[in-house]
């Protein structure tokens, strides 16, 4: 039972003709893009913006019409995955390395729908290390500042063992805080650190989560405020 695909297919059903759609990044968002490609081949008329080079390439291969960011203005809907989500639809994202572009796309969307399998739903965030995108200059200073907040920090490596670079040319610091009791406060502290470009806490951004379950069912969560 592919729980990710179940969630992706359900969420893609919210896309209507004429919409401008944000395409997420990562293993779950992959299934959403594939499903959207199938709908486009069946006659769905949309324009899309991708949150990463990998998602853009996949969309092109599937025949999904892409528009330049400067022409997209506000998007109608973005469908993306999450590494963790709680019952208040607070998220940790960035496992796929595209957190900055994902957050910018979500911010400029009327509606953000998160798709996930049931293992990503947690009572409290923090089991998954929080990705933080940092500039390359004086990265050691930024890492020390992150450690001062209580994190065990590891700079992400790529498949060749070199420091991973985002599509924006920055590094990713994966920060293990343990249980994050106050995500809003942590987000504020992270934003104060010079050298931090963006962090993977998405708070008050997701409107709905579609969760695929092992028994083939779908759970939906709605943000209350």
Enumerate the active-site residues. 102
- Mapped onto helix, strand or coil, the DSSP state of residue 13 is coil
Contacts of 87 (CB under 8 A, 6+ apart): 121, 123, 221
Question: Rounded to 5 degrees, what angle do the CA atoms 15, 19, 25 make?
Answer: 65
**Contact yes or no for 147/153 (Cβ under 8 A):** yes
Contacts of 11 (CB under 8 A, 6+ apart): 32, 79, 113, 115, 210
Going by C-alpha positions, the residue among 27, 67, 32 that lies closest to residue 47 is 67
Q: How far apart are CA 7 and CA 217, in angstroms?
A: 9
Q: How far apart are CA 21 and CA 30, in angstroms?
A: 14
The helix (H) or strand (E) run that includes residue 176 is strand 171-176
User: How many residues make up the chain in this entry?
Assistant: 225
């Amino acid at each position: 039972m592919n729980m990710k695909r179940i969630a992706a297919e359900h969420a893609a059903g919210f896309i209507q003709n004429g919409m401008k759609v944000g395409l997420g990044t990562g293993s779950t968002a992959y299934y959403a893009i594939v499903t959207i490609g199938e709908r486009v081949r069946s006659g769905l008329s949309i324009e899309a913006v991708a949150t990463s080079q990998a998602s853009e390439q996949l969309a092109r291969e599937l025949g999904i019409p892409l528009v330049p960011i400067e022409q997209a203005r506000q998007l109608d809907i973005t469908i993306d995955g999450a590494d963790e989500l709680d019952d208040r639809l607070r998220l940790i994202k960035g496992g796929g390395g595209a957190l900055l572009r994902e957050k910018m796309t979500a911010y400029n969307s009327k509606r953000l729908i998160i798709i996930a399998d049931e293992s990503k739903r947690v009572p409290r965030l923090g089991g998954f290390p929080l990705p933080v995108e940092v500039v390359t200059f004086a990265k050691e200073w930024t890492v020390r500042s992150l450690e001062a907040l209580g994190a065990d920090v590891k700079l992400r490596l790529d498949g060749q063992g070199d420091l991973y670079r985002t599509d924006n040319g920055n590094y990713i610091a994966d920060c293990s805080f343990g249980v994050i009791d106050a995500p809003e406060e942590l987000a504020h502290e992270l934003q104060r650190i010079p050298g931090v470009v963006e962090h993977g806490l998405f708070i008050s951004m997701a409107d709905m989560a579609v969760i695929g379950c092992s028994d083939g069912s779908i759970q939906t969560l709605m943000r209350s405020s």
